[in-house]
Structure 1
Amino acid sequence: MHLLVLNVLREKMMKTMMMMVMMAMMMGVAMGDIVDKTCKQTPDYSLCLSLLRSDPRSSSADTVGLGLILVDKIKALGTETLGQINMAYKTKPMLKKPLDECNLRYKTIVDVDVHTAIIAIKGNPKFAEGAIVDAGVEASVCEGGFPKGQSPITGLTQKMNKICDVTRAIVRMLL
């Protein structure tokens, strides 16, 4: 009799565990659908998927969360670009003036635009859109300050503009 009760309990536990696993899998698929559906509404579907899927937070994020993840990506790229600017001071001293301008502009992106976007996404997304647009403008103005073909950060600037375009599209979904 005791063995029979144990077998019944074991069977019920197995069924419960199977249900929990299936529910977890369905939640993961549903959240993946949010990323996919959201990225389809941006100007660069592949970039959007790549950026969001590289962050584990995206698996449980809503649209606000996805926007915040992308703002974090802008901050990370801005910080990386500042590092490249600092290295370029040593390797390209003749570009000091445009590098100084870029240093200022990328600090604005990292310290002001990102901060503003984070607060606004959580509150009034209209202001987040302005901050994201400004980040792209700051990067473009930086790039335009170099003599033609001499910018050591062209690739990073182009990437910043693309990420800003994707982020802006997601922020607009919040309006």
Structure 2
Amino acid sequence: MRSQFQWKHKKNDQRRKKKPMAHFPTTLFLLVSFLLGLSCAGPAVMDAGVYGDICIRCKDRGFCLAALGSDRRSATADLTGLGYIAIDLMNKNLTATYNKLMTLNGQAINPALKKRVDTCLILYHDSIITCARDLGGYLKSARYDDLLRHTLVVGENGIDCENSFKINPPYPSPLTRENQNIDLLSDILYVISVILSTGGP
């Protein structure tokens, strides 16, 4: 009886020793998956660490991260530097949209379209002047209230342009993406201005 008991005990010990080996492939798989997950998430985490305090407060966090991330200077810029980058991005968007409007104006045959294009040309012309002449100066001289106010105007001009296509009779807007972009870009500068005006991140 004792020998039989010893044999069973030995057999149970062998089974217990084999169980961890049976789970090893699963454990290894989970570990590799976890490490790969960290690797894939690395750039996003890095971006959030650089200017996440700004983008998390914006209307569209993903747009903010992509916009600021498109400029290499963002990785090392301070808050004021990010403000200048946002102004540069706004100016590029405004200029490109204005050029598109000029092309549309030359091609427009439909009176309803031409009227709306003319309206948007005025709005974007004013925004370009504000962006190129005023915003950088306000930021440099720490006139954050003026920066806030004029930044809002630029964003609202994009919204007004888009809304002009909804007035009766409505006409399909060829500028929806551009108008949305300038609204979101101005929102980035607005958030930066608010943070600067309150003296902290």
TM-score, normalized by length of structure 1? 0.75
Q: Which residue of 2 aligns with 1:87?
A: 103
Alignment of 1:105 with 2:127, yes or no, is: no
Which secondary structure state, in structure 1, belongs to the residue aligned with residue 196 of structure 2? coil
Aligned residue runs from structure 1 range 34-73, under 5 A: 34-73=50-89
- Report the equivalent of 1:75: 91
Alignment coverage as a number of residue pairs: 147
Residues 41 and 141 from structure 1, CA distance in 2 versus in 1: closer, same or farther, beyond 3 angstroms? closer
User: Which residue does 2:5 correspond to in 1?
Assistant: none
Maintained 8 Å contact 2:54/2:191:
no
Distance in 1 (alpha carbons) for counterparts of 2:139 and 2:46: 23
Amino acid of the residue matched to residue 132 of structure 1? T
**One-letter identity of the residue aligned with 1:45:** R
What's the secondary structure of 1:174's corresponding residue? Answer: helix
Alpha-carbon displacement from aligned partner over 1:121-156 (angstroms, at most 9, x marks no partner): 112111111111000111122222224242221221
| Aligned twin of 1:26 | none
Q: Secondary structure at the match of 1:144?
A: helix
2:184 counterpart residue number: 162
1:118 is matched with which residue: 120, 133, 136? Answer: 136
Q: Specify the alignment match of 1:131 in structure 2.
A: 150
SS in 2 for 1:148: coil
What is the CA distance between 1:80 and its match in structure 2?
0.9
Residue type of the partner of 1:171? S
Alpha-carbon separation, structure 1, partners of 2:47 and 2:185: 21
Q: Is the Cα contact below 8 Å between 1:82 and 1:103 reproduced in 2?
A: yes
Tell me if the contact between 1:43 and 1:169 (Cα under 8 Å) persists in the aligned partners. Answer: no
TM-aligned CA distance change 1:148 to 1:53, over 3 Å? same
Q: Distance in 2 between matches of 1:134 and 1:122?
A: 19
Give the C-alpha shift of residue 114 in structure 1. 4.2
Amino-acid identity (%): 26
Cα distance in structure 2, aligned partners of 1:129 and 1:65: 16
In structure 2, relative to structure 1, the CA distance for the partners of 1:35 and 1:98 (3 Å cut) is same
Normalising by structure 2, report the TM-score: 0.66
**What's the offset of the Cα at 1:119?**
0.9
